[in-house]
Structure 1
Amino acid sequence: MEDAALIDDTVLAALHEATLIAVASRSAARQPSIGPALACRVSADRRTVQLWLPRDAVGLLLTHILICGRIAVAVPTADSLLQLKGSDARVTEPADDDLVWLAARSSKLQTAGDLVAVCFTPDDIVWQAGRTGSISGTPA
């Protein structure tokens, strides 16, 4: 029997409405890297998250993802912080249908320049209440 997808309606809505998405990874020596994602899409079966990042701003981050496959994504909402973590992240080139979807989503994405896609399966999703800097969270 397949595991249930972790992405429920609340997580899906937060990802769809996100205006700020931070993406992080690390090297084998645990050197951190961070960069912005410009857009996010969840697969129809809610098992995969796809992010689009500006290639020129995330070189070290992409290298780290390629090395270890680990990814952490943070999406602030009005009253909390959504965090997703994965261990199978992979870097791909955006497909033609991705570019059509991005263009329809926002005019700013049409002028974003050279984009790269990162896909992953969330292993863990946590809602962090408030914006107090607390590291404790409530699983989604």
Structure 2
Amino acid sequence: MEGRVLRWLRPMMMICSRRAAEARSRISEAPAERVLQFSREKLTLIDVRGEDEYAQGHIAGAVNLPLDQLAERIKGELPDKGALVVCYCNGGNRGALAADALQQIGFSNVINLAGGLRSVPESLRPDGS
């Protein structure tokens, strides 16, 4: 059983990585040190990981909008398409896909946190996750 799951999972991960690489060519990315210097009043942090991942630790003040729910929930959460938005996930791929999707629906000031939550040094993690 495990072998079948791995045979299915590996190609899916490659597809996600390829789509994220394509998305990165269309979006802006910034390292954690730069992103976390922005005034919190001037940006919205969107954690696009699943609810279980978010519950295990996230950047303080981040809104959890899982990637698979982003399109249907974003209008209610962030009506201003000109607002500064920073998307992040665990490693950067889902964040890149989310930033690209937001740009495609008209958001004009979107950044992906390069490297995702894993790239945020412990000393810069506001919630200590």
Please give the TM-score of this superposition, normalised by the length of structure 2.
0.29
Higher relative contact order (CA 8 A, sep 6+): 2
Hey, which of these two has a bigger chunk of helix by percent?
2
Please give the TM-score of this superposition, normalised by the length of structure 1.
0.27
Hey, which of these two has a bigger chunk of strand by percent?
1
